[in-house]
Structure 1
Amino acid sequence: MEVLFIVVVIIIVAVYFSPFFLESLQASFPYFNTIMRVRYTIIFGGIGLLYGIAGNVLDITDIFFGMIAGSFVDYLLIGSQKNHTSRET
């Protein structure tokens, strides 16, 4: 279980920092834009998974609630970016 915990933490950190170290690989990495659109969904889902692992009861609802929260954050960030760009034009 400790190995799974460490692997999930590494994936969360990699997805969070992916815009910085994958920016140069954007042309060669085919799923870059897709990952950037659902980045917080992946991160919050991973946090829900870590919460389930740490609680010794891995309940699938923890993962889904984390993914729902991440999707909501993605939606809010995309909406604020669209509003910000429409004000500039």
Structure 2
Amino acid sequence: MYNSNKLIEGGLWVLKRWRKSECLHQLTMADSDIPEECYLYRLAKESGQILPRFHHVVLASSCQDQYAGFDSARIEVSDKARQEPTMGSV
């Protein structure tokens, strides 16, 4: 969603249109115009009992990663995302 790599963004755009994959639309939160109705959002809200089952969770990120953003890999909200009016507050 906030990927700085234009090649990845372009590739996702082509795949979503060419393959008509529901999964890709869900993963990019493009399956609904209303963020709270997106599958990933609902899954995160409904499955509140799953995360406590894990004893240890390790998150690692690298500034050199060309696929996942630095903030995204650590499950942090980036400054760019916070300022975005539609999805930033989700």
TM-score (normalizing by structure 2): 0.29
Structure with higher Rg: it is 1
Higher relative helix content: 1
